[in-house]
């Protein structure tokens, strides 16, 4: 059996965007992450993914550089998650951007990436 560890709506500010003005001032991004792994054999934290480590990893990736594309940011988070958490079979990452100018009202724009261990 497998379980899914989820982090929903993690808000981190970052200097990301396609436009230079977007990279000048950090803006809020929302992260939704799902890690699929084997069901823990015991009721111990070492048997799963520690949320605190996952959040720290997302923060580190966001602060590592200025991303132009949400797609690149989501992919880098997903790849880093799989590298850091060997128990994860797969990872899904969605990065949402609420403050975006597209000429019409929108709740947010987003990019999603799914990676599976080979």
Residues annotated as catalytic are: 97
Count of alpha carbons within 13 Å of 71, Cβ hemisphere only? 1
Q: Are 27 and 14 in contact (CB under 8 A)?
A: yes
H-state helical runs in 3-50: 20-24
The two structure tokens encoding residue 6: 């989820």
For residue 20, how many other CB atoms are within 10 A of its CB? 9
Q: Where in 55-104 does DSSP place strands (E)?
A: 88-97
């Amino acid at each position: 059996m497998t379980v899914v560890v989820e982090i929903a709506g993690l808000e981190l500010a970052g200097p990301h965007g396609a436009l230079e003005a977007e990279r000048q001032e950090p803006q809020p991004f929302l992260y939704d992450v799902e890690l699929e792994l084997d069901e823990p054999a015991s009721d111990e934290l070492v048997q799963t993914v520690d949320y605190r480590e996952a959040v720290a990893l997302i923060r580190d990736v966001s602060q590592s550089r200025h991303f132009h594309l949400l797609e690149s940011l989501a992919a880098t988070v997903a790849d880093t998650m799989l590298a850091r958490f060997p128990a994860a079979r797969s990872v899904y990452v969605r990065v949402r951007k609420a403050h975006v100018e597209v000429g019409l009202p929108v709740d947010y724009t987003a990019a999603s990436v799914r990676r599976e261990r080979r």
